């Protein structure tokens, strides 16, 4: 009689934004303990919030707020013409 031990299957990293369950592209599937042994290039991607948020959530959180003052200034200038 021999005991066979099975490891749990490693899960794919998902987006950290609430209600967004998108799997992160470019991040290797691993357990939290196995993530320590991975190289940095396997744990993250070279983008703002890389390895934490998906592309769409990054755009909403990072790109849109930086564009907002520009549009606000243009609408205000158009209003006073």
The DSSP symbol for 59 reads I
Give residue 22's pLDDT: 92
The pTM of this model reads: 0.61
| DSSP 8-state assignment for residue 4 | -
- Mean pLDDT for 59-80 is 64
H and E: helices and strands count for the chain: 3, 0
pLDDT tens digits for range 35-63: 889 898 888 888 888 888 998 888 887 76
Which pLDDT belongs to residue 49?
82
């Amino acid at each position: 009689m021999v005991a066979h031990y099975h490891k749990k299957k490693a899960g794919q990293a998902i987006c950290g934004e609430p209600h967004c369950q998108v799997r992160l592209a470019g991040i290797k599937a691993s357990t939290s303990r196995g993530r320590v042994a991975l190289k940095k290039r396997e744990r993250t991607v070279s983008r703002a919030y890389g390895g934490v948020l998906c592309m769409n959530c990054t755009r909403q959180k990072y790109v849109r707020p930086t564009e907002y003052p520009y549009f606000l200034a243009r609408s205000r200038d158009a209003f006073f013409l």
